[in-house]
Structure 1
Amino acid sequence: MFPKSRMLLAGRLCVAVLLAAVVAAEEKCPVNACGESSWPNGRPQPQVSARLYGPGLRGDFNLPARYFFVHVLDASGNNFTAASSTNLSVSITGTSSHCSIWTQVLNRRDGLFIVRYKLFRSCPEAQVEVSFNGSPLTEAPVLIKGPLHHDACSCPVSFDKWLLQTKCPPVDPQILKDLAWFEEIDMKKMLREALRRFDRPGSVSFCHYAVIKNKVYRKCYGQHVGFNMFMDQILLSLARKVRLPDVEMLVNLGDWPLEQRSHTGVHIPFFFVVWLKKQHRYCHAHL
């Protein structure tokens, strides 16, 4: 039987990456304004400045893809929406040794850019340089103090330490709301019930995952189980970064909830981790 405390750990584990994806750290780099020069068409180049912030500017923010934000402002301090990925350049390099880093700049078209980067080898320390039409937007390169570990590095830290590094909140209100249906979970009974209730192998596929001593195990049911690669990658990547608590879960591989309201109107909740969120209360308890 899983007590609610263990279920909360499972919930925190499943949502950790999703929460980290919206965490914005408070660190900010110095702001620098570009002097006036000419655009390619001869018009004066507007004076712009930039502010860098986000968790990807911290070396201990260890996720498969790290990210931070570049906020471009005009001379009046307003969002400079004319900036594009063609005239904004972001370079991330090692300070003392070669670091193999893939970088992607995403333009939200509101003056805010999302910079994603992945490391293909561990890096002692990195630096970020941002320029607009060749003119630097920061007074000096922004340092990312390391070590920065690449995704394949098997270097797990304690669960509590990793949550602090990613700055996840102690408890997420949505998790508490979803788990309110369950006082405890008998996973063996739940699996038997899932196999009985969703015995439609041509249209329903799900996997039973177990994390034991930081090793990930799974058994899948149904004919179309290719989407298990997504949860596989998430759990295996997490296990390389953090010592996970022992936990079990059922994961729906489809893109539509399995649970439906009964004909009698009585809802019997079923504990599944799902990819989507639905407003209807008769859907899965989603994490």
Structure 2
Amino acid sequence: MSLRLFAWLLLLFCVDLFRHELTGAHADSVPSAAKTLVWGPGLETNVVLPARFFYVQAVDSSGRNLTTSPGEKTFEVKMVSPVEQFTRIWIQVLDRKDGSFLVRYRMYATYTDLHIHILLKNKHVAKSPFILKGPVYHEGCDCPQPSGPVWEADMHCPQTFSQIERDLALYASVDPDRNAQEIPQRFGQRQSLCHYTVQDNKVYVRTFGEHVQLPDVEFFVNLGDWPLEKRKPTEKIHPIFSWCGSNNTRDIVMPTYDLTESVLETMGRVSLDMMSVQANTGPSWQEKNSTAFWRGRDSRQERLELVKLSRAQPNMIDAAFTNFFFFKHDESLYGPLVKHVSFFDFFKYKYQINIDGTVAAYRLPYLLAGDSVVLKQDSGYYEHFYNELRPWEHYIPIRADLGDLLEKIQWARDHDEEALKIALAGQQFARNYLMGDSIFCYYYKLFQEYAKLQVTEPKIREGMELVEQPSDDLFPCSCHRTKARHIVKFPLHQSDFVLFHLT
């Protein structure tokens, strides 16, 4: 299935969901094994992710999409390899409560072939069993795809990302030799930086204060939250890779460390990721609390104002601090602290308030993935995907000073159908653009385009250390391609992230 058709189907499901949520039509429909739809990257052999995934949309015998859950155990998924006695695969079927299911699985071994059985009351659904012709490599297998264009085609990556184009348009060229000398002098004493060189698919790093063949590239990563490059383009700016950008800086934006880790550790050590949120969106829209909700720490003055506003208008806003750090002297005014609330419990409320912290609030992807509507503060900070978001389409905008927050909450209450439509559009945006395959494509395209700008050869600089790569000794595999090591691992923000593990 093409990426365009895939996106079109998802939009169709979203429109159906919106229509039937409002009318309550077909709530009691029974899914049909023959009519039910199945699609997604996890049904393709060459899409290798830490956790593969695909979708199941329940459809009744008349061809109508179900818009409420037929039951979380409606579909059974089994995966077997005909030539293996056992399969080391962890499978989860996540009920998205809207008539669709997200199936994710993590492989711990490589198989000659893989048969995916999707069953409804012991009947095969759609074109089940889906057969992935092998070898089907597990995520830790050392078997790189030597061709970048082939990998991009396999992953259905878009041709361009507008944020990458905008960031790199500031640079006619990049000189690794000049950067290696000047960037540590400008930023190395006051900021936490990592200087990376990828050469012959080996990674070297020096710190200051999935399998695909990458080009040789040399770059600096800002480990702090605040973007660094404040010069104007006419003042010989330096390329700095950061998690967050701003209207007043020139940093090159990457997906945040939080979103990156959630992708890499899905079905692993993280409890919050873009898939788990989709199965934990709380009660139906009609049953959600119509109060606007927020929890967080005191990392910005506007957050203090929000809590103050909540106390004055408790019937409109439920906002409180879970931690004080920046304004500890004001704790008596804005406390007491409240207990942490499970993120999934946020979605008991129709309206989610998103306010900047020290920089952009990195929870926005997860808020969008739920089925509440986001009221997003106007901000000078942005993440890698903000350029694609549209106010009044994917979220309800609020002024930076929160001066119109009460007005916007009241608008949402008075226009319930429109608010639901915005909530579902934001949710569909997250499903289309913030899942693991999209994040991997973004990283690859960013490094690919940046490497083209280099006018001198990347070098292994004095003080750099080789980053040791993960071992797949536990479940070794035989690679049918020319053998080469292409796992690219960067130690980023207190954790080691495997950014490219792209077979």
TM superposition score category, shorter chain reference:
0.5 to 0.7
Which residue identity does 2:142 align to in structure 1? S
Contact preservation (8 Å) 1:58, 1:144? yes
Contact preservation (8 Å) 1:269, 1:284: no
The CA deviation at 1:284 is: 1.7
Aligned equivalent of 1:280? 247
The alpha carbon displacement at 1:151 in A equals 2.0
Report whether the alignment pairs 1:106 with 2:94: yes
Q: TM-score by structure 1 length?
A: 0.67
User: Residue 259 of structure 1 corresponds to which residue in structure 2?
Assistant: 228
1:197 to partner: Cα distance:
3.2
Classify the secondary structure of the residue corresponding to 1:60: coil
Give distance in 1, aligned partners of 2:175 and 2:162.
24
Counterpart-to-counterpart distance in 2, 1:141 and 1:84:
22
Residue equivalent to 1:242: 212
How many Å separate the matches in 2 of 1:111 and 1:269? 50
Q: Distance in 2 between matches of 1:270 and 1:178?
A: 12
> Does 2:70 match 1:83?
yes
- Separation of aligned partners in 2, 1:165 and 1:265: 37
Query: Is 2:41 aligned against 1:60?
Result: no
Q: Is the 8 A contact 2:30 2:70 kept in 1?
A: no
User: Partner of 1:235 in structure 2?
Assistant: none
1:104 and 1:257 map into 2 onto residues whose CA distance is 37
Q: How does 1:199-218 map to 2 (within 5 A)?
A: 199=188, 204-218=191-205
Q: Say if 2:152 is the partner of 1:182.
A: no
Post-superposition offset of 1:59: 0.7
Displacement of 1:46 in angstroms is 2.1
Q: Kindly state the Cα deviation for residue 130 of structure 1 after the two structures are TM-superposed.
A: 2.0
Moved more, 61-70 or 144-153: 61-70
CA shift in 2, pair 1:117/1:273, >3 Å? farther
Q: Which residue of 1 aligns with 2:30?
A: 46
Aligned residues: 228
- For 1:67 and 1:268, the matched residues in 2 are separated by 44
TM-score by length of 2: 0.40
Identity, in percent, stands at 30
Distance 1:195 1:63 in 2: 35
Structure 2 match to 1:123: 111
**For residue 71 of structure 1, what is the amino acid of its counterpart?**
Q
Show structure 2 runs of 5+ residues with no match: 10-27, 255-503
216 and 83 in structure 1: CA distance in 2 versus 1, 3 angstrom threshold = farther
Higher strand share goes to which structure? Answer: 1
Q: CA offset at residue 268 of structure 1?
A: 6.5
1-structure distance, mates of 2:100, 2:192: 39
Taking only aligned residues, the RMSD between alpha carbons, in angstroms, comes to 3.2
* Cα deviation, residue 183, structure 1: 0.7
Hey, what's the Cα distance between the residues in 2 that align with 1:111 and 1:191?
53
Please identify which structure carries the higher helix content: 2
C-alpha distance after superposition, 1:233-253 (max 9, x if no partner): xxxxx3xx2222111122223
**How far did 1:165 drift?**
2.0
Q: What is the CA–CA distance in structure 1 between the aligned matches of 2:241 and 2:36, rounded to whole Å?
A: 40
CA distance in 2, matches of 1:123, 1:181: 46
Whole-Å Cα distance in 2 between the matches of residues 163 and 250 of structure 1?
Answer: 25
Rounded Cα–Cα distance in structure 1 between residues aligned with 2:126 and 2:113: 18
1:61 Cα deviation from its structure 2 partner: 1.5
Change (3 A) 1:80 1:198: same
Distance 2:91 2:156 in 1: 23
2:238 and 2:73 mapped to 1: Cα distance? 49
- Aligned with residue 194 of structure 1, among 174, 180, 183: 183
Structure 1 unaligned regions, length at least 5: 1-22, 29-43, 223-237
Q: 2:48 touches 2:137 (CA, 8 Å); kept in 1?
A: yes
What whole-Å deviation, never above 9, does each CA across 1:168-199 have from its counterpart, x for those lacking one? Answer: 23433332221100011122332444323334
Q: CA distance change for structure 1 residues 143 and 265 in 2, over 3 Å: closer, same or farther?
A: closer
Q: Report the equivalent of 2:318.
A: none
Q: Deviations over 1:75-130 (max 9, x none)?
A: 45123321343433322222332331122333333223222222211111111122
CA contact (8 A) 2:69 2:96 kept: no
Match of 1:161 among 144, 150, 175: 150
C-alpha distance in structure 1 between counterparts of 2:5 and 2:109, whole Å: 24
Separation in 2, partners of 1:157, 1:139: 28
- How far has the Cα of 1:74 moved from its partner? 3.4
Q: Distance in 2 between matches of 1:265 and 1:160?
A: 32
Structure-2 change in CA distance of 1:138 and 1:218 (3 Å): same
Contact 2:229 2:240 in 1 (8 A): no
Partner residue in 2 for 1:271:
239
Q: 2:58 aligns with which of 58, 72, 83?
A: 72
- Equivalent position SS for 2:253: coil
Q: CA deviation at 1:283?
A: 5.1
Paired with 1:281 and 1:110, the residues of 2 have a C-alpha distance of 41
**Preserved contact between residue 25 and residue 53 of structure 1 (Cα < 8 Å):** no
Question: Using the alignment, how far apart are the partners of 1:169 and 1:200 within structure 2?
Answer: 38
